[in-house]
C-alpha cells in the first residue's frame, strides 16, 4: 500500500505568518501610520532611507514590519539610538488615532505591547459590530 502525502503550500515557509482579513486591515493601517510618522519626523526622502536601511541591513521589508514588530523595534534602536523611543511613541499615538482609540502613555512604554494592544482592541471592536 502506497501513501500519498500532500504537503500544504505553507509548509515550505514555516516562518510565514498567515493573515486573515482583520490582520491585513491592521497591517495596512499600521504601515500607513508608520509612513505618516516617519514623513512627519524625518521627511519623505529620509523616511525612504530608513526603509532601505531596514531591508538592506535587517532583511526587513516594509510590508513585513507589522508581523515582525520586535525586529523592527530593535532595528530602529540600532539606527536612531535613544531617539527610536520617540519615533515609536509617535507611531503608536498615530496608530491609536487612526482607530479612534485613546492612547494613554505609560512610563513603562513597550512598543510591541502597545501595538499588540491596539490590534486586540481593533479585533474586539470588529466582533462587537453587528453583521450587515
CA distance 104 to 40: 21
Between these two residues, 130 and 2, which has the higher pLDDT value? 130
Residue 55 dihedral angles phi and psi, to the nearest 5°: -75, -45
pLDDT tens column, 85-105 = 999 999 999 999 998 888 877
CA distance 39 to 55: 18
Between these two residues, 15 and 58, which has the higher pLDDT value? 58
Q: Are 63 and 55 in contact (CB under 8 A)?
A: no
CA distance 61 to 16: 13
pLDDT tens column, 26-70 = 999 999 999 999 999 999 999 999 999 999 999 999 999 999 999
Q: Are 29 and 95 in contact (CB under 8 A)?
A: yes
What is this structure's pTM? 0.76
Q: Are 111 and 73 in contact (CB under 8 A)?
A: yes
pLDDT value of position 130: 53
Number of other CB atoms surrounding residue 121 within 10 Å: 14
pLDDT value of position 94: 95
pLDDT value of position 37: 97
Q: Which domains does the chain have, with CATH numbers?
A: 21-126 (1.10.1200)
Amino acid at each position: 500500500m502506497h501513501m500519498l502525502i500532500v504537503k500544504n503550500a505553507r509548509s515550505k515557509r514555516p516562518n510565514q505568518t498567515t493573515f486573515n482579513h482583520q490582520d491585513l486591515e491592521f497591517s495596512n493601517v499600521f504601515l500607513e501610520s508608520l509612513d505618516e510618522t516617519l514623513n512627519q519626523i524625518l521627511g519623505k526622502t529620509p523616511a525612504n532611507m530608513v526603509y532601505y536601511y531596514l531591508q538592506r541591513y535587517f532583511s526587513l521589508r516594509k510590508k513585513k514590519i507589522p508581523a515582525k514588530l520586535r525586529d523592527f523595534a530593535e532595528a530602529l534602536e540600532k539606527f536612531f539610538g535613544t531617539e527610536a523611543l520617540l519615533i515609536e511613541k509617535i507611531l503608536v499615538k498615530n496608530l491609536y488615532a487612526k482607530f479612534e482609540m485613546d492612547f494613554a502613555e505609560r512610563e513603562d512604554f513597550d512598543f510591541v505591547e502597545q501595538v499588540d494592544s491596539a490590534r486586540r482592541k481593533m479585533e474586539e471592536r470588529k466582533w462587537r459590530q453587528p453583521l450587515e
